[in-house]
Chain A
Amino acid sequence: MTIAFFLVLTIAGALGAAAAAAFGAPPSAFAGGIALAFIGFAGAAGAAASALHARDDLSEPRTAHGPTHPPPLPDDARVARPRFLRLWFAAAGAFAVLGLVPLISLARKPGRAGRTGWGAGVRLVDENNTPIPHDRLVAGGIETVFPQGAVGLPEAPAVLIRGDDGGYRAYSKVCTHAGCPVALYRHASHQLICPCHQSIFDVDDGAKNVSGPAPRPLPALALGVDAAGFLIARGDFDGPVGPDDWDRVV
Chain B
Amino acid sequence: MIVRRTATWLDERFGTNTFLHAALAKIYPDHWSFYLGEFALYFFMVLVGTGIWLTFAFDASAQGAYPSVLALADRSHPIGYVIRQVHHWAAVCFVAAILVHMGRIFFSGAFRKPRELNWMIGVCMLMLASFTGFTGYSLPNDGLSGTGLRIAYSVALSIPLIGRWAAGVFVGGDDFPAPLLTTHLYTLHVYYLPVTIGVLLALHLFFVVYQKHTQFVRDPKRVVGRRFWPDYALRTVAALGATLAVLALMATFFEINPVGDYGPYRPWIVMNGAVPDWYAAFLEGALRLGPRTEFVIAGHPIPPVFWPGLVLPTLTFLFLLAWPFIEVRVTGDRAAHDVLQRPSAVPLRVAVGAALIFEGLLLTIAAGDDQTAATLHVPLDTLVWIYRVALLAGPFAVGLLAARIAVEVHVRTPDDGPPRPDAVVLVRNAAGGYVEEEVQAG
Q: Which chain A residues have a beta carbon within 8 Å of chain B's beta carbons?
A: 20-21, 24-32, 34-35, 37-39, 41-46, 48-49, 52, 54-63, 65-66, 106-113, 144, 146, 154-155, 157, 173-174, 177-181, 183-184, 195-199, 209, 211-216, 242-250
Contact = CB atoms under 8 A, between A and B. Distances in A.
Given A34-B248, A246-B302, A247-B300, A62 B220 contact: yes
B221 A195 contact: no
A247 B221 CA distance: 60
Contact of A177 (B81, B217, B234, B305): B305
Contact of A196 (B147, B221, B303): B147
Of the candidates B267, B271, B288, the one having the most CB atoms from chain A within 10 angstroms of its own CB is B267
Given A42-B240, A59-B225, A62-B220, 4 more contacts: A52-B234, A59-B219, A183-B270, A246-B302
B288 A198 contact: yes
B155 interface: yes
A181 B269 CA distance: 6
B231 A54 contact: yes
A93 to B, nearest CB: 23
B168 to A, nearest CB: 4
A110 B241 CA distance: 49
Contacts of B248: 31-32, 34-35, 37-38
Contacts of B394: none
Nearest to B75: A27
Nearest to A51: B234
B413 interface: no
Interface string B266-277: 011111111000
11 contacts: A28-B252, A32-B252, A39-B241, A41-B241, A41-B245, A45-B235, A46-B234, A58-B226, A110-B168, A110-B173, A178-B287
Interface stretch (B6-14, B54-62, B131-139, B156-164): B156-164
Nearest to B226: A56
A67 to B, nearest CB: 10
A245 B252 contact: no
B212 interface: yes
Contacts of A197: 284, 287-288
A45 B238 contact: yes
Contacts of A174: 267
B190 interface: no
A245 B158 contact: yes
B404 interface: no
A28 B163 contact: no
Given A45-B237, A154-B176, A244-B301, A110 B287 contact: no
Given A41-B241, A46-B235, A245 B76 contact: no
B193 interface: no
Contacts of B198: none
B242 interface: yes
A247 B164 contact: yes
Contacts of B369: 198
Contacts, number: 257
B30 A215 contact: no
In order of increasing CB-CB distance, the 6 nearest A-B pairs are A42-B241, A35-B248, A38-B245, A110-B168, A45-B238, A215-B294
Interface string B160-189: 111111011101011111000000000000
Contacts of A54: 226-227, 231
Contacts of B159: 246
B301 A112 contact: no
B222 A35 contact: no
B292 interface: yes
A247 B79 contact: no
A173 B150 CA distance: 14
B78 A24 contact: yes
Given A49-B235, A178-B154, A245-B163, A39 B245 contact: yes
B82 interface: yes
Contact of A59 (B86, B175, B224, B300): B224
B249 interface: yes
A250 to B, nearest CB: 6
Contacts of A39: 241, 245
B231 A52 contact: yes
Given A35-B249, A110-B173, A59 B27 contact: yes
B336 to A, nearest CB: 5
B381 interface: yes
A109 B168 contact: yes
Nearest to B220: A62
Nearest to B25: A60
A195 B305 contact: no
B38 to A, nearest CB: 13
Of the candidates B174, B230, B239, the one having the most CB atoms from chain A within 10 angstroms of its own CB is B174
A107 B173 CA distance: 10
B180 to A, nearest CB: 12
B175 A110 contact: yes
B108 interface: no
Nearest to B304: A215
B259 to A, nearest CB: 15
B78 A246 contact: no
B79 A30 contact: yes
Contacts of A32: 248, 252
Contact of B274 (A29, A111, A195): A195
